[in-house]
């Protein structure tokens, strides 16, 4: 088993890690033993880029893909939190598919109100899945460290405190 204290720290309510680290074999949310560890890639770009989204979503998406930073981190979830995440993602998928089906039915029937309702349900389901299904939220990816929100207080309490070296 790897030594975790050199790769992960707490800084207030934030988790600070080295890119590519493997977190302890405990649930990131409640600190119970993890069902399994999963390697995930997390992405981040400077929040100022969202100004471009106000002007044009397509241009924003293209720029964001090219300027985003990526960091892989191996995290664990307990059975309860993994089950909750699976249910959220399943509900989001079913909602998005149902909304798409309703929108197509509205197109066939030439009912634009039904198309709008279907499109709204699809979009709401996708947003729900993205927001509620997150394991951690990246707040910054730097050259040496990545910062996350969303780790449980019990998990953070088990980590050493992060001290910045200047």
pLDDT tens-digit series, residues 45-90: 999 999 999 999 999 999 999 999 999 999 999 999 999 999 999 9
What's the pTM value of the predicted model, to 2 decimals? 0.81
Mean pLDDT of 35-53: 93
CA atoms within 13 A on the CB side of 79: 0
117 class by beta-carbon count within 10 Å (0-12 exposed, 13-18 middle, 19+ buried): middle
**Contact status, residue 97 vs residue 121, Cβ threshold 8 Å:** no
Is residue 98 within a helix (H) or strand (E), and if so which, with residue range? helix 79-108
**Contact status, residue 122 vs residue 103, Cβ threshold 8 Å:** yes
Q: Is 89 helix (H, G, I), strand (E, B) or coil?
A: helix
pLDDT grade, residue 4 (50/70/90)?
very low
Looking at every residue in the chain, the average pLDDT score rounds to 92
pLDDT above 50 for 1: no
pLDDT tens-digit series, residues 156-165: 999 999 987 5
Query: In the chain, helix, strand, coil percent, each to 5?
Result: 45, 25, 30
């Amino acid at each position: 088993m790897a030594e975790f204290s050199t790769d992960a720290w707490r800084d207030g309510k934030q988790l600070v890690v080295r890119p590519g680290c493997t977190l302890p074999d405990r649930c990131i949310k409640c600190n119970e033993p993890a069902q399994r560890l999963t390697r995930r890639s997390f992405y981040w770009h400077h929040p100022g880029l969202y100004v471009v989204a106000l002007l044009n979503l397509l241009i924003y998406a293209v720029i964001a893909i090219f300027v985003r930073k990526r960091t892989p981190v191996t995290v664990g979830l307990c059975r309860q939190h993994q089950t909750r995440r699976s249910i959220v993602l399943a509900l989001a998928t079913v909602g998005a598919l149902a909304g798409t089906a309703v929108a197509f039915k509205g197109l066939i029937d030439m009912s634009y109100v039904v198309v709008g309702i279907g499109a709204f349900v699809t979009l709401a389901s996708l947003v729900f899945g993205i927001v509620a299904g997150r394991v951690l939220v990246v707040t910054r990816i730097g050259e040496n460290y990545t910062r996350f929100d969303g780790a449980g207080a019990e998990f953070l309490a088990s980590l050493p405190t992060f001290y910045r070296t200047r």
